[in-house]
């Protein structure tokens, strides 16, 4: 029996095509809706790894989620426990707490679904781009990873 880690999930090809452009625009401070850059140390090299993600902000709380499961940024963030967010040219250190399965269902039911429904074509956009039906929170949460983000205060370091 081998002790090797399973291969990481992969985002769809269109994500890898658009991510460099999105990353450059966000890095230049150009606002792109709820999108921000997250920088996390690589779990093997420790080198900073940066990827663009949508920040889900509702009622003063913030989350990020991976529609494609265990991708590399998820594994890096899980290992590091914290990251740097860059949003409209401002940097912020955050702690990331991974949601348990029941909490993920609640996130899709109580946070993402109402948010998507409040945006014209939001439910359709998430279904088409991410392959997730937010109208079925139990199914939507299966195989997906969600982190809640909390600011790192000076006293937390």
| Residue 50 in this model has a pLDDT that exceeds 50 | yes
Domain membership flag for residue 1: no
Domain membership flag for residue 8: no
| Residue 63 in this model has a pLDDT that exceeds 50 | yes
Mean pLDDT for 60-66 is 96
How many residues are listed for the chain in this entry? 157
Over the stretch 112-150, which tens digit does the pLDDT of each residue have? 999 999 989 988 888 887 788 888 999 999 989 999 999
For residue 141, give the CATH number of its domain.
2.30.110.10
Instruction: Please give the residue range of the domain that contains residue 101.
Output: 13-156
| Rounded CA separation 35/33 (Å) | 6
Q: What local confidence, expressed as pLDDT, does residue 156 receive?
A: 54
Q: What local confidence, expressed as pLDDT, does residue 7 receive?
A: 55
Mean residue pLDDT across the chain: 88
| Rounded CA separation 15/68 (Å) | 11
| Residue 5 in this model has a pLDDT that exceeds 50 | no
| Residue 42 in this model has a pLDDT that exceeds 60 | yes
The total domain count for the chain is 1
Domain membership flag for residue 6: no
């Amino acid at each position: 029996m081998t002790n090797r880690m399973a291969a990481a999930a992969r985002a769809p090809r269109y994500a890898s095509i658009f991510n460099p452009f999105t990353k450059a625009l966000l890095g230049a401070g150009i606002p792109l809706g709820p999108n921000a850059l997250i920088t996390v140390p690589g779990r093997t090299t420790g080198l900073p790894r940066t990827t663009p993600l949508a920040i889900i902000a509702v009622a003063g709380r913030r989350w990020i989620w991976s529609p494609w499961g265990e991708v590399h940024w998820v594994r890096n963030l899980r290992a590091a426990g914290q990251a740097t967010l860059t949003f409209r040219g401002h940097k912020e250190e955050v702690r990331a707490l991974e949601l348990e399965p029941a909490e993920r269902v609640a996130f899709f039911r109580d946070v993402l679904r109402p948010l998507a429904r409040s945006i014209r074509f939001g439910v359709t956009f998430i279904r088409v781009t991410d392959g997730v039906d937010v109208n079925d929170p139990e199914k939507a949460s299966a195989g997906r990873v969600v982190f809640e983000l909390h600011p790192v205060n000076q006293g937390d370091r």
